[in-house]
Structure 1
Amino acid sequence: MRLSSFFEELKSAYEAELDDLTTDSAGHDVLAKRLQAKRGQVSQLLPMIECNPEMVAVAFHGGMRFDSPEVMRDLAAQEPEDLPSWSELQASVHLEPWAETLANIVLKDPNGEQFLVVTACLEYLLGRSAIPSESGDGPSQGSKGDGGGDDDDGRAESDDDVDLEEAGADWLSEQGFDRRDRFSGDH
């Protein structure tokens, strides 16, 4: 998947922000508590949505589901000036009821629509990066053009799973285990 420089930079900042919220100084997982606090502060944080959207976007973490990976992959390749409106994107994004409430607050801000589009993309990218891959977060997986383009049936994600299965089977084979999987015949 190709990321625009805008989303490449924001994705890293968003992941760092979530990482900062995850544990306290004693190493305890406090993400849920801190996200709840952020959600309660959204209206006070609105001045930050233009200059530091990742710091407010975390309030929506876990509150979006995506009906069209193709639309989201296309979105991730866009620069800010080319982003669709929230009303255009909304057909591809399902908000949890609590996230819908937050979205209504955000939409009162003049930059609210663009912020929600950016937030949706960041949440989508975070979900994709939760799936480990050998090549990391580069713009292309393998050598198939843009890494996700031609097949709209989600095969790009399942190809990643196959690559991981094959890599795991290779590793087990190197450790002395018999290779008894679907890759033993054709590859």
Structure 2
Amino acid sequence: MATKIRLQRHGKKGKPFYHVVVADARAPRDGKFIDRIGSYNPNTNPATIVLDFEKALDWVNKGAQPTDTARAILSYKGVLYKKHLQGGVKKGAFDEAKAEELFADWTSANEARIDGKKGNLSTAKEEARKTALAAEAKKKEDRAAAIAAKNAPVAEEVVAEEEAVEAPEVAETTENTEETEG
């Protein structure tokens, strides 16, 4: 029987959640399966992958063929690399201790890369928050300035009215001087 390692979709519309399963190749996508080996949640950033490493490695060694997405998940978790190293041990390229050392080095480098991505995401989120706060503060200052400007013309009109009251007296004085001259 041809077996496949593939994703089984769950979750609501627009929010998918997948189970990583081993199923007969002829079974429908969300139908009957042989074994559930993990889950994949693409809604989080970075995506959450829970995988039973030993079960997955066992099924890959038995000949189960992963689909493209399942292959990416298995590669991300190191199952395919571990299978590759076991093949090197069988061929006599190196011994079991060397294979374990290589896998441990790869695992630590992969965890460092994942932690770096999480760190970058958190700093980017913090920067976006600071930018939003700065924009909010600027908007608040502009709004306060607009309100002050709206209230300021009222004071200027009072000053303009006082000048207008003083201006006719000056005009009357000029008319009086013209009458006395003439």
* TM-score, normalised with respect to structure 1: 0.29
Which is helix-richer, 1 or 2? Answer: 2
Which is strand-richer, 1 or 2? Answer: 2
Q: Give the greater-gyration-radius structure (CA).
A: 2
Work out which structure has the larger RCO, using CA pairs closer than 8 Å and 6 or more positions apart in sequence.
Answer: 1
* TM-score, normalised with respect to structure 2: 0.29
